[in-house]
Chains A and B, each alone.
Chain A
């Protein structure tokens, strides 16, 4: 009796998990299918083709936007990782009250609405006399990326053992040397996951870029938005499918490769 009840429960739970996965991944599957469709219509299947995959490499607009997107994502995540890690180390050694204040400010870009962040940065760039373009997108992305790095690094810092760092200094290591030899290896996973999260957020951002980009420069997001009214070129679906598959492959290789022996 009980085992039947458990089996039904297990089945219901699995069914629910599958439903949610279908909900999350149905649009992605749709885009992948469309990227191979010979017709330009969003709702008609026009036979299998690889045409869009070839066309996307020939489109200067798409390649340009892709380059901007990747350069901004990489540079903003890298700069955010450096500034954010330094800040996390400083915050960790602060007294409770200044720490609470700074963490409060850190939370602003995360909790604030993207539209408000975007507008406020746009107003600031214009007030500071910085013309909107590549620079301003980069600054905006660094701004909303730093909190992700701080939030990833801080927990790792709390786990590090202070005495090891002090022991290294007692044995004659300079503070900077001791930091890179003793503390940094411990917090590296936090720095890396912060970097990756920042990269993802930058890549997926549209709203803040929309307000800070100015004319004449596009990332993939803003290019797609400008094409919505005219109809999206299927090459966009092809490019996104390609990016998605590459990232999926990379993540599977790095996360699930059977070399986890050195974990703890």
Chain B
């Protein structure tokens, strides 16, 4: 009985700083400045400006999630095969960049992508025409993939490490070729990691305002930028909260996905 009391501070903390704050967003999102109930803040997502930002965010985060998955899965398979130092080393390699500030790392891509930056310098040296790389949707996707790739690699890697070698060998002994093993054995067994990775990339990519700010110039507005501006510049907190409620629909959907496909928490990143 006394053991359960140990959760007291935690429960109070979570109630005060997680549950109540989220309820406040719901309250602000569904009221106007006078405190009267209104749906106007949520419905404003349908205005041309806001829906354009939402669709762009959805598109860019969808593409970056796909790219992350395509890059991470073979990577996780190779890392598993090599058995690099049993886990901790792999985590180490992917967590280490976080010790260099996230904003600086993203800013460094400006240096690499700029009109007279490093990549264009290499292109010119090879007598190729320089490209416009910075301030495009492509640059934002690159920034998303760069920042969130570790969150796709780690859960998939962790799930793949739990697959027994004998299962793979059995499939091959029974005559399955590479593709059959991949689609009938590897994929089904790694679903928890894939789903966990997808949500851990998609949610931050969908809601970012920093990456679009730093790599997209000020012309490309994502839904995260719109919300951030309502809170810091426009100071219409009700509108900002209403738009956040729309985002929370997507966040809740990913939580539901996790609950459905990753019941035992196998696909955690850490």
Distance of A102 from chain B, by nearest CB (Å):
7
CA distance A206 to B100 in the complex (A): 12
Chain B residues whose C-beta falls within 8 Å of the C-beta of A104 in the assembled complex: 259
Determine, out of B36-44, B124-132, B164-172, B204-212, the stretch whose residues face the partner at the interface: B204-212
Determine, out of B21-29, B48-56, B180-188, the stretch whose residues face the partner at the interface: B21-29
User: CB within 8 Å of B: which of A24-71?
Assistant: 24-28, 30-31, 34, 42-43
User: CB within 8 Å of A: which of B229-270?
Assistant: 231, 237, 240-241, 244, 247-248, 251, 254-255, 258-259, 265, 268, 270
In the assembled complex, 12 residue pairs joining A and B whose CB atoms fall closer than 8 Å, in A order, are A20-B75, A28-B108, A30-B118, A43-B116, A93-B3, A106-B14, A108-B18, A116-B22, A116-B244, A127-B24, A142-B17, A244-B99
Interface residues of A (CB under 8 A from B): 13, 16-17, 20-21, 23-28, 30-31, 34, 42-43, 83-84, 86-87, 89-91, 93-94, 102-109, 111-117, 119-124, 127, 139-140, 142-143, 146, 148, 151-152, 175, 193, 197, 200-201, 203-204, 206-207, 211, 220-221, 224-225, 228, 232, 236-237, 240, 243-244, 247-248, 251, 255
Nearest residue, chain B, Cβ from A91:
B7
CA distance A185 to B165 in the complex (A): 33
Chain A residues whose C-beta falls within 8 Å of the C-beta of B13 in the assembled complex: 83, 142-143, 146
Quick one: given A111-B254, A115-B227, A207-B210, are A120 and B104 in contact (CB under 8 Å)? no
| Cβ contact within 8 Å between A120 and B107 | no
Nearest residue, chain A, Cβ from B225:
A115
| Cβ contact within 8 Å between B110 and A93 | no
Chain A residues whose C-beta falls within 8 Å of the C-beta of B46 in the assembled complex: none
CA distance A102 to B13 in the complex (A): 12
Quick one: given A27-B108, A43-B111, are A211 and B231 in contact (CB under 8 Å)? yes
Q: B179 at interface (Cβ–Cβ under 8 A)? A: no
Chain A residues whose C-beta falls within 8 Å of the C-beta of B105 in the assembled complex: 27-28, 31
| Cβ contact within 8 Å between A113 and B206 | yes
| Cβ contact within 8 Å between B21 and A123 | yes
5 more A-B residue pairs beyond the given contacts A24-B146, A123-B28, A255-B89, with a C-beta to C-beta distance below 8 A:
A90-B4, A105-B14, A115-B227, A115-B228, A211-B231
CA distance A108 to B191 in the complex (A): 21
| Cβ contact within 8 Å between B103 and A225 | yes
Chain B residues whose C-beta falls within 8 Å of the C-beta of A34 in the assembled complex: 108, 111
Query: Residues 79-101 of chain B: 1 if any A CB is under 8 Å from the residue's CB, otherwise 0?
Result: 10100000011001111111111
Distance of A16 from chain B, by nearest CB (Å):
7
| Cβ contact within 8 Å between B207 and A113 | yes
Quick one: given A105-B14, A119-B227, are A24 and B94 in contact (CB under 8 Å)? yes
Quick one: given A124-B24, A221-B103, are A16 and B244 in contact (CB under 8 Å)? no
| Cβ contact within 8 Å between B103 and A42 | no
| Cβ contact within 8 Å between A31 and B203 | no
Quick one: given A43-B116, A122-B231, A228-B107, are A244 and B100 in contact (CB under 8 Å)? yes
CA distance A105 to B92 in the complex (A): 28
| Contact among B81, B108, B227 for A30, CB-based, below 8 A | B108
Chain A residues whose C-beta falls within 8 Å of the C-beta of B107 in the assembled complex: 42, 224, 228, 232
| Cβ contact within 8 Å between A24 and B203 | no
Chain A residues whose C-beta falls within 8 Å of the C-beta of B237 in the assembled complex: 123
Q: B19 at interface (Cβ–Cβ under 8 A)? A: yes
| Cβ contact within 8 Å between B99 and A200 | yes
Interface pairs A-B: 6 shortest CB-CB = A90-B7, A27-B108, A120-B21, A87-B10, A113-B207, A124-B21
Central interface residue in B3, B7, B95, B101, by most chain A CB within 10 Å:
B101
| Cβ contact within 8 Å between A113 and B204 | yes
Distance of A85 from chain B, by nearest CB (Å):
9
| Contact among B75, B78, B102, B208 for A221, CB-based, below 8 A | B102
Central interface residue in B13, B94, B109, B117, by most chain A CB within 10 Å:
B13
Quick one: given A13-B78, A28-B97, A197-B270, are A90 and B3 in contact (CB under 8 Å)? yes
Nearest residue, chain A, Cβ from B270:
A197
| Cβ contact within 8 Å between A107 and B24 | no
Nearest residue, chain A, Cβ from B224:
A115
CA distance A224 to B81 in the complex (A): 40
Chain A residues whose C-beta falls within 8 Å of the C-beta of B81 in the assembled complex: 13
Q: B20 at interface (Cβ–Cβ under 8 A)? A: yes
Central interface residue in A104, A115, A197, by most chain B CB within 10 Å:
A115
Chain B residues whose C-beta falls within 8 Å of the C-beta of A23 in the assembled complex: 146, 149
CA distance A106 to B18 in the complex (A): 9
Distance of B10 from chain A, by nearest CB (Å):
4
CA distance A25 to B17 in the complex (A): 36
